[in-house]
Amino acid sequence: MKTDKRHINIPVFIPHLGCPNMCVFCNQKTISGTVEFDRGSVRALIDEALSTVPPDAETEIAFFGGSFTGIDRDLMIYLLDLANEYVQGGRVGGIRLSTRPDYINDEILEILRRYPVRTVELGIQSMDDGVLNACRRGHTAAQSEHACRAVKACGFELIGQMMTGLPGATPHSEVETARSICRLGADGARVYPTVVFCDTELCRMAQSGEYSISDENEIVIRTKDVLAVFAEAGVPVIRVGLCASENLADDSMVWGGANHSAVGELAMGELYMDIISRSLTDRGVSGGSVVIAVPRGETSKAVGQKKKNTIRLRNKFSLCDIKFVEDDGLPIYNVVIKSYVPQRRIDHCT
C-alpha cells in the first residue's frame, strides 16, 4: 500500500441504491448530493477527472457513496466493466470500492476477483453490537469480522471504516473497534467523527435529547485515542472526517456534531502532544531549550493549531524555547529529541 507516488481516487458516487437499511446517521442525499444515478454519465465523469490527474500519480477508480456490492447486479457489472476498460488501457491502476460487511459473500468476492479490484473498504463503523443496534446498522460485529477475513483471504487490500461519537458508543468501545480492525488485518483505515445531518433519525434523536452530541474537545480526544491504536499497530489512517465533496462545509445540511474541516488535524495534533510529552518526560526535560525532530510534513500537527501544543509544552515543561525540525527518516507519529539545553546553561529565556 505504501508508495512514493501521489495516490488519487477518481470517485464515482453511487447513491443509496445498494442499501435497503437506513442507519440513524445516514442521509445519502445529503452526502452524495443526489438520489438518482445516471450510468451514462460515468464515462464522462471519469474522463474529466483523468484530464486533471498528474501523469505520475497512482490512480484508482473508486466507487463510493453507497454499498457498491449491494446495487443491482447488472449495474455493478456494467460499472466494473467500464472501470476495467480504463485499467486495461493503462489510464488507471485499479479499482477501489466501498460496501457494507453484510454485502460480502463468496459470490460477490468471486465476481470482484474477475476484475482488477485492488481495495475493498468496509463500513464497519463499530465492533460493538450494542452500538450497531442503536444505530440500526442492520449487521452484527460477527458479520464484520467474517467480511474482513474473507476480503483479506481473496488478496484484496482492506480498509476499515469506523466512526466515533455514535449513539451508545464509549471511548472504550471505539478503541476496541480500532483494535479489532487492526487485528483483522486492515491495510488502512478511515475514521469519521459523527456528523448529525439534517433530516436523519439521529437529528431527531439529538433534538429530543435521546442522543447527546459530544462537544468538539471530547470528540477530538476520542478520535485521537483511536488514531493512537492505529499508529501503534502501523495501520495508516488515510482519512479523518468527511471531506468537502461530502458536503462537509455546507452548514445548511448539518444540525450538529463534528462538522469541522480540521477535526482530523486537531485529533492528530492531540496525538502528537501526547507523544512529545512522553518523550520529554522520558528525557527528564524540565526548563531550558529543546529541538524536536518530527516526520516530514508533520510540523503543523506537532505544533498544533494556533501553536496550541507549543504553548502547552512550554508551560508543562517550563521551557524557554522549543524548535521543531523535520526528519525524512522518521515514520509518522515518531519524534526524537535532537538536543536539550537545561535551564542552568541558558543565560535567559527569550
Kindly state whether residues 125 and 244 are assigned to the same domain: yes
Among candidate residues 229, 261, 293, the one where a domain is terminated: 261
Same domain, 62 and 134: yes
Strand order in the sheet with 336-341: 319-327, 288-295, 336-341
Would you state the pLDDT for residue 16? Answer: 65
Query: Which CATH number belongs to the domain containing residue 97 in this structure?
Result: 3.20.20.70
Evaluate if residue 2 carries a pLDDT over 50: no
- Picking from 171, 256, 260, 164, the residue whose alpha carbon sits closest to that of residue 213 is 256
CA 83, 88, 89, 92 dihedral sign is: positive
Q: Which of 305, 213, 202 is nearest to 261 (CA)?
A: 305
φ and ψ of 103, to 5 deg: -110, 30
Q: How far apart are CA 176 and CA 171, in angstroms?
A: 9
Question: How far separated are the first and last CA of the chain, in Å rounded?
Answer: 45
Q: What pLDDT band is residue 3 in, cutting at 50, 70 and 90?
A: very low
C-alpha cell at 151: 476480503
Residues 108, 207 share a domain: yes
pLDDT over 70 percentage in the chain? 90
What are the start-end ranges of the H helices in 98-236?
A: 106-113, 129-134, 141-153, 171-183, 201-208, 216-233
Q: Are residues 213 and 316 in the same domain?
A: no
The model's pLDDT over 29-73, given as tens digits with 9 standing for 90+, comes to: 544 444 568 899 999 999 999 999 998 899 999 999 778 999 999
Chain mean pLDDT for the chain: 91
pLDDT class of 313 with cuts at 50, 70, 90: very high
For CA atoms 129, 241, 112, 75, give the dihedral sign. Answer: positive
Q: CA 70, 71, 73 angle in degrees (round to 5)?
A: 100
Q: Which residue has the cell 501526547?
A: 274
pLDDT attached to residue 291: 98
Mean pLDDT score, 288-300: 97
The pLDDT of residue 121 is: 98
**Is 16 inside any structural domain?**
yes
The reply to whether 246 and 295 lie within a common domain is no
348 pLDDT above the threshold of 60: no
Write down the pLDDT at residue 65.
Answer: 78
d(CA 187, CA 233): 10
Do the beta carbons of residue 92 and residue 60 sit within 8 Å? yes
How confident is residue 1, by pLDDT bands cut at 50, 70 and 90?
very low
In this predicted structure, the answer to whether residue 133 has a pLDDT above a threshold of 90 is yes
Residues 341 and 213 in one domain: no
21 pLDDT higher than 80: no
Element (H, E) at 218: helix 216-233
Segment 215-260, tens digit of pLDDT: 889 999 999 999 999 999 999 999 999 875 554 556 778 898 887 7
Residue 289's beta-bridge partner residues? 321, 341
Domain identity same for 52 and 135: yes
Average of pLDDT values for 186-191? 98
Burial of 162 (0-12, 13-18, 19+ CB in 10 A): buried
Q: How do beta strands 336-341 and 288-295 pair?
A: antiparallel
SS3 150: helix
Helical axes 171-183 vs 216-233, angle rounded to 10°: 20
**Claim to verify: residue 112 and residue 255 sit in the same structural domain:** yes
Range of the domain at 311: 283-345
Q: Beta 188-193 vs 237-240: how paired, if at all?
A: parallel
pLDDT, tens only, 82-121: 999 999 999 999 999 999 999 999 999 999 999 999 999 9
| Tally of structural domains, the chain | 2
In terms of domains, do 213 and 297 share one?
no
CB 225 within 8 A of CB 231: no
Looking at the chain, how many residues does it have?
350
Burial zone of 320 (CB within 10 Å; 0-12 exposed, 13-18 middle, 19+ buried): middle
Q: Is residue 234 one of the residues assigned to a domain?
A: yes
Same domain, 27 and 71: yes
Is 229 within 8 Å of 180 (Cβ atoms)? no
Give the model's pLDDT for residue 14. 85
- The C-alpha atoms of residue 103 and residue 63 are separated, in whole angstroms, by 15
The pLDDT score that the predictor gives to residue 261 is: 74
Q: What pLDDT does 310 receive?
A: 98
Please check whether residues 330 and 230 belong to one and the same domain: no
Q: Is 70 exceeded by the pLDDT of residue 269?
A: yes
Residue 268: Cβ-neighbour burial (10 angstroms; 0-12, 13-18, 19+): buried
Residues 307 and 229 in one domain: no
